[in-house]
Amino acid sequence: MTRLIAADDFHDGAPLLRSPVFTLDQPSENLTRAVLEATALALYEPEVNGRPATDTVFNPGWDSYEFRVRLQSFDVTHLLSTETSTETTAGAGHRIGARLGNGWAHGRLGFLAGGGKFYTDEPAFYARLTLTFADGAQQIVETDETWEAHASDTTDNQIYDGQTIDARRRLPGWSTAADASTGWTGVHTKVFDEAKLFAQAELEVPPVRRIEAVTAREIMTTPSGKTVLDFGQNLVGWCRFTVPAGAATAGHEIVLRHAEVLEAGELGVRPLRTADCTDRFVLSGGEDFFEPTLTFHGFRYAEVTGWPGELGLGDIEAVVVHSDMRRTGTFECSDELVNQLHRNIVWGLRGNFLDVPTDCPQRDERLGWTGDIAVFAPTAAYLYDVRGFLGNWLANLAAEQADADGFVAAVVPDVLKFMPTPEDFPELDTTAIWSDASVWVTLELYRTYGDAALLARQFDSMAAHVRRVVSKLSPSGLWDADFQFGDWLDPDASPHNPADAKADKGVVATACLVRSAREVSEAAEILGLKAEAAEFSEIADVARANFLANYVDAEGRVRSDCATVYALAIHFDIVDSAHEPQRRAFAGQRLAEIVAERNYRVSTGFAGTPYVTWALSATGHVDAAYRLLLERECPSWLYPVTMGATTVWERWDSMLPDGSINPGEMTSFNHYALGAVADWLHKVVGGLSASAPGYASVRIAPQVGGGLTWAATSLDTAHGVISVRWDLDGDRFTLTCDVPAGVTAEVMLPDATARTVGTGAHRFESPVPVA
């Protein structure tokens, strides 16, 4: 039986829980394995005999707790040896403990009023320790009413607002059998549906860990006299430090306030909205180490108040925290601004892949917006191994969707359903791009990793989404009757009205239906589902015909005549080269004209930006694509880089040229969605793309331009590392590539020469035709 326990007293939302002292049924030398299984409707940090049971943090992670709760397993055999117990005999005493925090299940969530305690009315914890001995016998220690609770040193904790730690309240050795502290109170059990549990290991969900530590680059004094640390990188995590004994009297408080940018020389906190992003540390008078692991912040700058004595660069370090994923993809080129853009994209991914793919890591939001990851999934899957990370998120999406009649929510886990809808905002229903994540993310993972099992697991979700869209179509067969985010954050829209885009919302939505229906049909073919493949192929064909009949004129002009609608019509192959060569050529030419008319500054929002360079290069306008990429004036990808950005911004002008913050209420300096251009960098500039699922075969076809003299990319696949580099010396192009065993590569050179190669290192030369 799975019995969650909660403290009888609230203990500031951060109780310590511990088991009674127990002894092993057999001598410790007979113990062959000890496994601690645990989960919580809270954050928890488990201990055994006074030592951490894991180096992971933010356990158990954030899932759609009303449907799925993650069960984690930790090998703690080494913590049950005689050296870690209170005695040196076979009968030594042992104890399990856990430190809880509010986390996502009990803490404040969401940007609307009244957000919090959505999943539980109190932090609750479950643990089961299974001890296995050499003769096969097992001993179980499990959470029940015999456990006890105590206040911890944390007096306040919220993910958005920060953590307060009072070192005077610490209980050294509280999770050991020898502890004799007083004040422990009772616990009670909570009803829990075991069917919700799933094993983290089964889906290979990466845990969250401390990844690296960053030392401050500069100590600044602001115009108002505040002390601010600049860590030189916009990152996600927290600050930690040690204060030596005697540095200040007991009760002295150190306060750290966090922000991503400075404005007028002071901490720029307006974009945080209601998130306090402040940690407070109360000293004991002795040596105190502080690390606020029950919260996280998105920040480059930390304002420090109350530091005893003179603050040095090495006194406080920032800890980078995110899901522990393996890095797989790289990219570099001869333009250092583009390299910085790519680094910004990587850091944006790292900061927002903290158990859930969030939109931003700093303000009172930090939610798993489906639209962001729908467009960014190809970039993410190239840069990191995100199979387990996004595979688990898709399982949450499917669980939420199944409970909502096929509706894929705007955020997953869906906390918006718990909040009142603002008066000026419509009730959300199925929306293009955002709800399409159920299809686009799934198929991208299949294409990158070749995992048909994940495709099979998610197929019903993919199909349910498209069927729901079909039920929403207007009599004309267009997806134009409901609310749509559309080309969200069009740079020409008012900062106060991000949905006011140039692109017709029906054009955007119907184009997305064509793509999604085709991809569900493709998935069905892969899985051998012939009837479903035919069903969704027909949906796609009808939607495409309706799009062409209603939105594209005979010449090829698309309704609303802006960059986004042409990018979608081209990249989603609605005006395709096989059936619509003239209209496709016109669309490509018109897109290039629009881009030039805008002086190669970006004019697209969420819907068009990921695909505009693709559409240009696919229709023979490579130079226009490069000019768009390399433009430095706002709005552009490189404008934030010239302004010192170290992550991708939510808005092209999140910071204005005069150094002031965009006046809109919604402004983040760490938002990965507009970094989806990295997919084009990897596959068109670098030239490496998959021609079979899992990169079992590849196409190497870099397209040169923009004055770049070299570019290099690599990808660590299931078959090994594939690497590509090209160099340009005058009009002479040289390409080198390494192909791992079992992989074939089709190499396309600038002079249109094609070669097919297999395992090994290869070198090719070619002239570059004059345009």
Residues labelled as active-site residues: 365, 650
Q: Tell me the C-alpha distance between 544 and 539, whole Å.
A: 9
Burial level of 310, CB count in 10 A (0-12/13-18/19+)? exposed
Q: What is the DSSP letter of 49?
A: T
Residue 741 tokens read as: 């065993």
Provide DSSP, 452-514: HHHHHHHHHHHHHHHHHHHHT--TTS-S-SS----STT-TTS-TT-TT--SS-HHHHHHHHHH
Round to whole Å and give the CA distance between 350 and 134: 43
Q: What is the DSSP letter of 759?
A: S
CB of 140 within 8 A of CB of 130?
Answer: yes
What Rg, from alpha-carbon coordinates, does the chain have? 28
Contact 327, 265 (CB under 8 A): no
- Helix 336-352 × helix 622-630 angle, to 10°: 70
User: Tokens standing for 559?
Assistant: 């309704």
195 contact partners, CB below 8 Å, separation of at least 6: none
Q: Which residue has tokens 């898709």?
A: 394
CA distance 429 to 413: 15
Residue reference for tokens 């130079």: 623
Q: Are 92 and 243 in contact (CB under 8 A)?
A: no
Strands 744-748 and 697-700: parallel
Q: In angstroms, rounded to a whole number, what is the distance separating the alpha carbons of residues 181 and 179?
A: 6
**Cα dist from 106 to 13, 116, 157, 304, 393, whole Å:** 9, 6, 11, 29, 20
Q: What are 282's two structure tokens?
A: 């109360």
Asked whether the beta carbons of 175 and 48 are under 8 A apart, the reply is yes
- Strands 697-700 and 688-690 come out as antiparallel
**DSSP code per residue over 75-103:** E-GGGGSGGGSSSSSTT-EE-EEEEEE-H
Distances (CA, A) of 505 to 385, 545, 589: 34, 18, 23
DSSP label at residue 413: S
Q: What are phi and psi of 287, to 5 degrees?
A: -75, 125
- Give the CA dihedral 739, 740, 742, 745, nearest 10 degrees: -10
Cβ-proximal residues to 324 (8 Å cutoff; 6+ apart), any chain: 56, 206, 207, 208, 209, 211
User: Which residue pairs from 532-541 have beta carbons closer than 8 angstroms and sit at least 24 positions apart in sequence?
Assistant: 532/459, 532/463, 536/463, 536/466, 539/466, 539/470, 539/513, 540/513, 540/514
Contacts of 373 (CB under 8 A, 6+ apart): 357, 380, 390, 393, 437, 441
Q: How far apart are CA 465 and CA 436, in angstroms?
A: 7
